[in-house]
Amino acid sequence: MEIYIDNRQSKALITDDIIDLLENVIKESLDVERKDKNYEISISFVDNHEIRELNKEYRGIDKETDVLSFPIDEDLIIPVPLLGDIIISVEKAIEQAEEYGHSLERELAYLTAHSMFHLMGYDHMNKEEKEIMRGKEKIVMKNLGLFKDIKGE
């Protein structure tokens, strides 16, 4: 498994510990889906301005969001399968961590799990889809010991 990191923001320091945590979230998400680890995934850390521009360009929504997921077409024939790209607004993650009363690390982990399930074909456009996707996210977070009520993990 290859994970490519592109840090294009200056709102928070993205430490090796955070990268290791997100790598564990990615592995656990793949395990939950019983997928092998032979994938390439990129994670880009951006600010609200950049994610707003991307959200406007690709989704037609002129508003910042916390995370965007861009799955790669499964029909591409390449030596190592590309699962896709995850783009996280660290600025928005900081806001949400404060709002929900937990650490930035926990918020980044959740956003990564959420995005991984989007990359693997899940969505939350209706109640049933949302319940399935949220259930999978909760399994990942529980398996890694990342609970909502723990602050400063």
Cα 27 from chain centroid?
Answer: 12
Q: What is the pLDDT of residues 26-74, one digit of tens each?
A: 999 999 999 988 889 999 999 999 999 999 999 999 999 999 999 986 6
At 77, the pLDDT band (50, 70, 90 cuts) reads low
- Is 114 annotated in a binding site? The answer is yes
Which pair of structure tokens corresponds to residue 1?
């498994």
- Is 124 annotated in a binding site? The answer is yes
Neighbour count for residue 92 (Cβ, 10 Å): 21
- Is 102 annotated in a binding site? The answer is no
Give the pLDDT confidence score for residue 51 in this predicted structure.
Answer: 98
Cα→Cα distances 41→1, 17, 94, 102, 133, Å: 8, 18, 23, 26, 20
User: pTM higher than 0.75 for the full model?
Assistant: yes
Structural domains of the chain, with CATH = 2-143 (3.40.390.30)
